[in-house]
Amino acid sequence: MTFFLGFLAGIGRYVLTALAAVGRIAIFASDTVSHLARPPFYAREFLHALIQIGWLSLPVVGMTALFTGGALALQIYAGGARFNAETVVPSIVAIGLTRELGPVLGGLMVAARVASSIAAEIGTMKVTEQIDALTTLSTNPMKYLTLPRVLAATLAVPVLVGVGDAIGIMGGFLVGVGRLDFGAATYLHNTIDFLETWDVLSGLIKGAVFGFIVALMGCYHGMNSGRGAQGVGRATKSAVVAASVLILASNYLLTELFFSA
Amino acid sequence: MIELSDVHKAFGNNRVLQGVNLTIASGTSMVIIGGSGTGKSVALKCILGLIRPDSGSITLDGLDVTKGDRDAFLARFGMLFQGGALFDSLPVWQNVAFRLLRGSLKRPMAEAREIAIEKLRRVGLKPDVADKFPAELSGGMQKRVGLARAIAAEPEIIFFDEPTTGLDPIMAGVINDLIREIVVEMGATAMTITHDMTSVRAIADNVAMLHDGVIKWTGPVDEMDASGDPYLDQFIHGRADGPIEAVR
């Protein structure tokens, strides 16, 4: 009986800790968003974040999309051959990339690159008292550090997803034409004919949500980093894990919302 | 005048401040001494509002520091942090002129840069340091840049957190002299926390000894050696035996 009660208490403690963390993140997110309506705004920090998060993530997102598009074309061709449906390769590659793989893989790659870097940077600033220094210099750290990064990621990741979609489709095209003997014109024709605006748009909306999640997790874990190198390391790891899991979970919810019958 | 009345602060079960009472008169230099982990930095951060005390009151010129316009309140302060706390991503001059480049004290960029270079010169650094990044400077130079940043907006009150920690004795002497000169020259109220007794004698008008979360002794620096307080005596002479446990 004592063991059973201890077991239940353990579950209760875990649930309460998890709920408290969700509450803290929700307050952090609402605090961040509320600064959108309250000047001053730090345009220079925003532009710097836009370059760091958007422009510098382009190579890794582009490479991911290119190889994924190519691999997808091979897989769909092999799978489609079982039903004599090889011709669906262009359209399935395009739909799969724009609706799912583009935003999800792009989001995960940005999470690995950006959430870790934000958490490490802000965590280091915290342990070296730079966050306290900002406050004593009459500068709100949420306004100066968090809002520019969250806003930049929310705007940059959809653009990255859009570019990634195009590169991924090109990857499929190169494999389709080069390895699977599709005609170039036919491949492009099938891609364009079957692709709907909503396929692309839904992926871009997902990208915006994933961008928000990535930067928010980076900033939250950085701001709450523990002391020393170990504390910053733990914050960095937590930021990447939390961002990745939240991207996958929110992807499911958004897919339900957008595409469930 | 800064006044702390019965200030308490605990972190979990660790009761750091247990009823701190302290008055710092305007235009004077108060140095708070005490062993590591006795709550000196916590007391300082409570005054600045970086940490909220659990109970008690802290007033600046009779006004509660937790109420009123926060920006206007912080604009009256300058602070030198223990490790410098310089922003790695900004060149030295932008660190020094940080407050002058944004917010209510914003100046044109050229003017802010000119002020930054003047403040760097004031702390003994050449203008060519202005365009370097903090990582390119030695510990002593970083402390001086931190000092230049603390005085850049000519604050009424300046806080110094362990200003000589990690410096060689000569550089520590240079920083102590600079602090004393600047405080006298600006007529600022200064509060320094340190456990370096050379700093205490160089910087202080008044001294307060913090131990076990309370002020054990406070008075003019001239009376420190003849205080008769066993805690203060043990601390200033660095004795292992006495009422302060060596193992804490």
- pLDDT tens digits, A162-204: 999 999 999 999 999 999 999 999 999 999 998 999 999 999 9
Nearest CA in chain A to B79: A136
Per-residue model confidence (pLDDT) at position B103: 80
Chain A nearest-CA distance from B155, in A, is 11
**% chain B with pLDDT above 70:** 99
Which positions ≥6 away from A200 have C-beta within 8 Å?
Answer: A98, A162, A165
Is the pLDDT score of B219 beyond 60?
Answer: yes
Boundaries of every domain in chain A: 1-38, 42-259
Cis amide prior to B108 (ω within 30 degrees): no
Q: Which two tokens stand for residue A9?
A: 């208490």
Partners of residue A128 in chain B, C-beta under 8 Å = 83, 85
Flag if B85 and A42 touch (Cβ within 8 Å). no
Please, is B138 exposed, middle or buried when counting C-beta atoms within 10 Å of its C-beta (0-12, 13-18, 19+)?
Answer: exposed
Cβ-based neighbours of A94, under 8 Å, separated by 6 or more: A169, A172, A191, A194, A195, A199
- Looking at the complex, report in whole angstroms how far the Cα of residue A136 sits from the nearest Cα belonging to chain B: 6
Nearest to A153 by CA among A195, A119, A194, A129: A119
Binned at pLDDT 50, 70 and 90, residue B227 comes out as confident
DSSP track, B24-69: E-TT-EEEEE--TTSSHHHHHHHHHTSS--SEEEEEETTEETTSS-
pLDDT tens for each residue of A101-124: 999 999 999 999 999 999 999 999
What percent of chain A stands above pLDDT 70? 100
Taking the CA of residue A55 and the nearest CA in chain B, the distance in Å comes to 19
pLDDT (tens digit, 9 = 90+) per residue, B45-86?
999 988 999 999 999 998 898 888 888 888 899 999 988 999
Mean pLDDT, all residues of chain A: 95
Q: Which of A125, A130, A138 sits opposite B74 (nearest CB)?
A: A138
Residues B187-210 have a mean pLDDT of: 93
**% of residues, chain B, pLDDT over 90:** 63
By DSSP bridging, strand B2-11 and strand B14-24 are antiparallel
Band of pLDDT at residue B104, cut at 50, 70 and 90 = confident
* Chain B touched by A136 (CB under 8 Å): yes
Mean pLDDT (whole number) for A55-77:
97
The whole-number average pLDDT for the span B127-139 is 94
Q: How confident is the model at residue B159 (pLDDT cuts 50, 70, 90)?
A: very high
Confidence of residue B248 (pLDDT cuts 50, 70, 90): low
Distance from CA of A138 to the nearest CA of B (A): 5
Mean pLDDT over the full length of chain B: 91
Chain A nearest C-alpha distance from B102 (Å): 8
The answer to whether B71 faces chain A, any CB pair under 8 Å, is yes
The CATH number assigned to the domain with range B1-76+200-248 reads 3.40.50.300
Q: Which of B99, B86, B78, B95 is nearest to B191 (CA)?
A: B78
B79 interfacial to chain A (CB closer than 8 Å): yes
Which tens digits make up the pLDDT trace of A32-43? Answer: 999 999 888 999
Confidence of residue B88 (pLDDT cuts 50, 70, 90): very high
CA B119 to CA B123: how far, in whole Å? Answer: 6
Which residue in the set B50, B88, B98 is minimally distant from A137, CB to CB? B98
Of B48, B86, B102, the CB nearest to A136: B48
What are the structural domain ranges in chain B? Answer: 1-76+200-248
The CA distance from B43 to B193, in Å, is 10
Radius of gyration of chain A from Cα atoms? 22
Lowest mean pLDDT segment, chosen from A238-247, B64-73, B76-85, B139-148: B64-73
Q: Which of A40, A42, A129 is nearest residue B81 as measured by Cβ atoms?
A: A129
Q: What is the pLDDT of residue B247?
A: 60
pLDDT value of residue A86: 86
A128 touches chain B (CB under 8 A): yes
Look at B83 and A42 and tell me if their CB atoms are within 8 Å. Answer: no
What CA–CA distance (Å, rounded) separates A153 from A239? 15
pTM: 0.88
> What mean pLDDT is predicted for residues A205-227?
97
pLDDT at A261 over 80: no
Q: What burial class does residue A172 get, using C-beta atoms within 10 Å of its C-beta: 0-12 exposed, 13-18 middle, 19+ buried?
A: buried
